[in-house]
Amino acid sequence: MVTRNNFISTFGGVFEHSPFIAERAFEAGAISEPLTVSSVHAALAEQFRKASEAERLRVLRAHPDLAGRLAVAGELTEESRREQSGAGLDRLSPEQFARFTEINSAYTEKFGFPFIIAVTGLTKEDILAAFETRIDNDRETEFATACAQVEKIARIRLGHLLPENV
């Protein structure tokens, strides 16, 4: 039987540093066994979408810059480290690192939150191309895009924790 504390302990970090999403999903009665990627993701995503814009903004701001200072300092969560490493963001040339740093700063200054993309299956070139395209979006479009990417990242992370179907 899944307990509240166990659920929050296990899934509280799926939405980057935002255990309130898992807390609300459990408290809403949206969690039942068997736990699968699809069922837990649906419950968590529903609570993320129901969160206020300010709360969703805090979730976005909890995400690290891609190839940014936390990565350099080795301070990423294990999930973020694995995701960024898989995309080659831990192996940037000095020129690529400078470009990521420059566009990270411009993006964050424009939108007020870091660039968020589900990097699994992407290359550093794919990510940079998305960066350069999305920086031209208006804030409303980019906020919605970033939120959709957060949900995609959550689904990928759940795939490391749960079976798809039981």
Please give the Cα distance from 12 to 106 (Å, whole number). Answer: 30
> Residues with Cβ < 8 Å from 3, sequence gap 6 or more?
none
% of the chain with per-residue pLDDT over 90: 69
**Annotation says 63 is catalytic:** yes
Number of domains the chain contains = 2
Whole-structure pTM value: 0.89
- Tens digit of each residue's pLDDT (9 = 90 or more) over 13-70: 999 989 999 999 999 999 999 999 999 999 999 999 999 999 999 999 998 877 665 4
Range of the domain at 116: 64-135
Q: Tell me which of 17, 41, 63, 160 is the catalytic residue.
A: 63
- Tens digit of each residue's pLDDT (9 = 90 or more) over 80-121: 667 777 778 778 888 988 898 899 999 999 999 999 999 889
69 and 47 share one domain: no
Sign of the torsion formed by the C-alpha atoms of 163, 81, 151 and 12? positive
88 in a structural domain: yes
Domain CATH for 127: 1.10.3330.10
